[in-house]
Amino acid sequence: MSEAPVLIFEYRSETISERALPTRIVDEWETMLKLARARILASLERFLTEPAGRNVFLTQIADASSDAYEGFVNPAYPNADFIKLKQRVKLAGSYNAWKTGVQHAFQPDSTFETNVTVKKPKFENNVRLTIGGVGFKPVYWGPIAKLSLLLVGDTRPERYMSDSELFSKGPAYPRNVFSEAGKGVVPAIISTYVQGVVMLLWCYRGGIDSACRDAVVSSTNSRLTKLASARDADTNVVLELRTDPATGLPIVYGKAEKI
């Protein structure tokens, strides 16, 4: 008779909502990105110095883009070959205009720096979706971060649990349940949760119907199940993205057992 599984931990987050970054961090994003202007321009120098730059542009930008574009054109569409050829010819002939645009955009006090400031509110608005899930460590430990650390046997998250979170630790706690798989699995788990949580918060923000929300949950959980299968052979791991029945807001869930 086989022995019953022994709990390592079980975790369920509170409902996840948008969270703002401190204003000083958003201001720092703007400042640091503007300071990167010269470095970005230098990284494009190989495309800008003629005649070699023109050839590099054709090989690494124009032709590469056209090769990828061809895969998006339905071969059954009328004049499909001509459509693909038209894109290739136009892009290959755009070097001078592209070069002039890049050089103008990355001059001091020009388009690049202006657009960084213009896009600052958009960055601030969109990053709220990610911070809700992963957190900002000096201020808030997010549920995705907590769960990912618990999966590798890190005990620090228990110091940051709120009363509205479920956290149970069993006799087999703590335990790295992915010790055999190496370090690549947990980052993939984090990114999968982040994608799912952000999409659900977009659904919530936009008032999208529950069918779309359920599709996000189903797709995310399918990928999480595959990632959980990389667990150590003597463990069971359940990873799920859930939604609150009343609000539709996302919830992160994870459970690990020793078998």
For the stretch 70-92, pLDDT in tens is 999 999 999 999 999 999 999 99
Extents of the domains making up the chain: 6-21+126-258, 24-124
Query: Are 176 and 41 in contact, with CB atoms under 8 Å apart?
Result: no
Tens digits of residue pLDDT in 9-58: 999 999 999 999 999 999 999 999 999 999 999 999 999 998 899 999 99
Considering the entire predicted model, what is its pTM? 0.85
| Tokens 């992915």 found at | 178
Q: What is the mean pLDDT of the chain?
A: 94
> CA of 193: how far to CAs of 92, 109, 182, 239, 252, in Å?
40, 39, 19, 9, 8
CA 213, CA 221: separation in Å to the nearest integer?
12
DSSP strand E in the chain: where?
Answer: 6-12, 135-136, 140-141, 166-169, 235-243, 250-258
Q: Name the band, by pLDDT with cuts 50, 70 and 90, for residue 210.
A: confident
